[in-house]
Amino acid sequence: MKRAPAPRRTTVGSTVARARTALGQPTAVLGAGTLLVLAVLVVAPLLGLVNTTLTAGNREAWTDVFASPMSENLLWRPMGNSVLMGVATAAGSTVIGGFLAWVVVMTRLPGRGILGLLATIPFALPSFALALAWESVFRNDLIGGSTGILMNLGIPVPDWLAWGPVPIAATLTAHYFSLSFMLVAAALASVNGDLMEAAELTGAPTMRVARDIALPVVAPAMVSGALLAFAEGVSNFVTPALLGLPVRFHTLSTRLYGAISTGDVSRGYVLSIVLILVAAMIMYASTRITGGRRSFATITGKGGRRRGVDLGPWARPVAAVAWLLVTCTTVVPGLVLVFSSLTLRTNDFSSGLTLHYWIGGSDPALAQGQRGILNNPQILQATWNTVLLGVCVAICAGVLGLLVSYVITRSGGPRWLTGTMGVLSFVPFLIPGIALGAAFIAQFGAPIGPIPSLYGTFAILVLAGIAATIPFAVRSGTSALGQVSKDVEESAVMAGAGLFRRIGSVIAPLTARGLFTGGVLVFVQMVRDLSLVVLLATPAMPVLAVLTYQYSSENFTQSANAVTVVIAVISVAATIIARRFEGAAQPWNSNS
């Protein structure tokens, strides 16, 4: 291992002296420390990616992508489609997620607790479940085989409704509005009751209060949610592959996965770099437009209880819309998933139902003798591993996320630094999981100094997991922190509390709700994500997502769906448990 020589400075002495002074400041230590962690977890894999595309023999991938007869189909059109899907997903998710969050947190509609729980589920469902649900309703005879419910009822379904951008944007939105919902709900829940009450006392109508007081206050959370939804929408592979390919609708992600899986790795990496750049630009533009500086501190030292908004005559229509939304995005796909694990024949709901794929013994006539999943000791082992992994990553990423977002929003560091950290903490989203996994093997597979090779250990999974989920942790940390008034922290400073004491005893408890939300997002992401762990999961340590993938690649669709149901149940359970903790952590905020 070679180390690059230290950067030469003419005034080495003074630099060292300055550094020493700076090190005395805890904020600087924190900034340097988090930046270093980000460098190892994010920058290094990224450089590995870039590096690969610059080695001899791989360099022409750049010209192939940008300046060849293929560019049109490989880059430009897919890029347009990706941006379109990303923007549509972000817009749809913000509207739906924001609306549901408002209904759940701010109104007094009956059953809003259940509504809130159901709204968090779509994110825990695999994207193919939603695409499959769409198909089971709208599929027409373009491909052949069986058709969806509408066609079977004799209602013709045009291609644009069955395939391509419209269904893709709709299913992606149905999948990712949960992100916006969770972030916005957490933000709304912490809106100071005094503000609302004051507004109401002045006689402002309910809707006006919502628009002028609540909306600006939750703006950071909405932007965060929109950005996450955008990134997810841009990088999702399964949905455009399932619903787009039949009409040859390609996105950067389908092109990227295609290139990697057909052996043209460097071209795939170039596309993923393009994806990262495009998304970074959009992110930059969006923070400029929405005014990244403008944040509203809502958690101050004092605060009153909040009453729910009375909707009056609007109660019924609003409730109807809210229930319709969660029914279409949670109940229907959930049922499709459960039922398709019970069908005797793959996705053929008329073939009869069986519990074989859940509890059956080995029967050579079905799925080549695979046992029902609850009868399979491997599943138990995998379930334990998965939960452990999710918890470890959620805790580590949560702590890191809080620290990074503290540096970004509070350290008063130079703009380039906070900007860089903001972008860095977003980038892992856009690195295809499988490439991130390969980069981690390359980086930590060999011993580095005193650190032994991590390949095949649980540690490397956790590290990669943290890297991959930093975006969730930092975004939710930022939106939670954005609401904590500086007054609170300043009073702690006056009281003589040091930086880490402040973070531990003041910031963390105050932002607990947002942090729990982030933790749940990270946990769910880890539990269901496949592409990252597929290379890193040690052969001796199965995780559920990998098992799902193995089942489905062998066409044991029912078993795959059954395992997916297990994943969804774990995710939902985590959400419910986290809520309990939230309640305990923020007793002053319980508004019942």
Partner 1 sequence: MRFSRMLSASVALPLAVSLAACGGGAPQTPAADGGADPHELDDATHEELVELATEEGEVTVYSFTSRIASVEEAFEAEYPGIDLIGHDISSSEQITRLRSESQAGTPSADVAYISDAPVVITELVAGGILQNYVPPRVAETVPEEYRQPLLANRLSTKVLMYNEEAHPDGSPVGNLWQLTEEEWNGRVVMVDPAVRGDYLDLVAEIVRQSEAMAQAHLDHFGTEVVLDDGVENAGQQFVKDLYGNGLVLVDDTDNVNAAVGAAGQDDPPVGFTSYSDRRDNEEEGWALQASLGTAPSPGITFPAYIGMVRDSDSPAAARLVADFLMGDDSETGGPAFDPFYVPGDYPVRTDMAAPGGAVSLDELGAWDISPEETAQIRDDVADFLLTL
Cα dihedral angle (561, 563, 565, 566), rounded to 10 degrees?
Answer: 180
3-class SS at 177? helix
Min dist CB 172 to partner 1, Å, is 16
99 HSE (CA, 13 A, CB side): 16
Pick between residue 286 and residue 538 the one whose CB is nearest to partner 1.
538
Q: Which of 276, 299, 386 is nearest to 43 (CA)?
A: 276
Task: Report 436-465 residues binding partner 1 (CB under 8 A).
Answer: 438-439, 441-443, 445-446, 448, 453, 455-456
| Contact assessment for residue 434 and residue 265, using Cβ atoms and an 8 Å cutoff | no
Among 117, 137, 166, 246, binds partner 1 (CB under 8 A): 246
Residue 167 makes contact with partner 1 by CB under 8 A: no
Other Cβ atoms within 10 Å of 155 Cβ, number: 11
Nearer CB in complex with partner 1: 132/326: 132
Give the shortest CB-69-to-partner 1 separation in angstroms.
5
| Minimum distance from residue 262 beta carbon to partner 1 (Å) | 5
Q: Which range in 228-236, 328-336, 363-371, 499-507 contacts partner 1 by CB under 8 A?
A: 363-371
Q: Which is nearer to partner 1, 181 or 269 (CB)?
A: 269
* Site for partner 1, residues 249 to 268, rule: CB under 8 A: 250, 254-255, 257-258, 260-266
Shortest CB 583 distance to partner 1, Å:
40
Dist CA 271 CA 250 (whole Å): 13
Residue 526 contacts partner 1 per CB under 8 A: no
Among 15, 152, 491, 591, binds partner 1 (CB under 8 A): 15
Q: How far is the CB of 535 from partner 1 (least distance, A)?
A: 5
Residue count (the chain) = 592
- One character per residue 60-89, x = contact with partner 1 (rule: CB under 8 A): ----x---xxx-xxx---------------
**CB of residue 210 to partner 1, shortest distance in Å:** 41
Burial of 232: CB neighbours in 10 Å, binned 0-12, 13-18, 19+? buried
Decide: helix, strand or coil at residue 409. Answer: helix
Residues 556-585 that bind partner 1 (CB under 8 A): 556-557
Picking from 440, 426, 433, the residue whose alpha carbon sits closest to that of residue 525 is 433
Q: Is 19 near partner 1 (CB under 8 A)?
A: yes
Restricting to residues 331-360, name those near partner 1 by CB under 8 A.
345-348, 351
Q: Does residue 204 interact with partner 1 by CB under 8 A?
A: no
Question: Mapped to the 3 state alphabet, what secondary structure does 322-346 carry?
Answer: HHHHHHHHHHHHHHHHHHHHHECCC
Determine the Cα–Cα distance for residues 356 and 364; give it in Å rounded to an integer: 12
Task: Pick the binder of partner 1 from 62, 95, 146, 215 (CB under 8 A).
Answer: 146
* Rounded least distance, CB 446 to partner 1, Å: 5
Q: How far is the CB of 494 from partner 1 (least distance, A)?
A: 23
Q: How far is the CB of 465 from partner 1 (least distance, A)?
A: 17
β-bridge partners, 448 = 451
| By CB under 8 A, residue 127 contacts partner 1 | no
Within 284-323, the residues that bind partner 1 by CB under 8 A are: none
Min separation Cβ 22 and partner 1, Å: 4
**Do 474 and 396 meet the contact criterion of CB atoms below 8 Å apart?**
no
152 interacts with partner 1 by CB under 8 A: no
Give the nearer residue to partner 1 in terms of CB position, either 71 or 485: 71
The whole-angstrom separation of Cα 166 and Cα 244 is: 10
Is 127 exposed, middle or buried (CB count within 10 Å of its CB: 0-12, 13-18, 19+)? buried
Q: Total residues contacting partner 1 (rule CB under 8 A)? A: 102
Cα 135 from Cα 162, distance rounded (Å): 7
> Which segment (141-149, 296-304, 385-393, 490-498) binds partner 1 by CB under 8 A?
141-149
Asked whether 284 and 471 are in contact (CB, 8 A), the reply is no
Say which residues have a Cβ less than 8 Å from residue 122's Cβ, sequence separation at least 6: 130, 174, 175, 176, 177, 178, 329, 330, 333
What gap in Å lies between CA 512 and CA 583, rounded to an integer?
A: 10
Residues in 21-60 that interact with partner 1 by CB under 8 A: 21-23, 25, 28, 31-32, 35-36, 39-40, 43-45, 47-52, 55, 57-58
Can residue 419 be called a binding residue for partner 1 (CB under 8 A)?
no
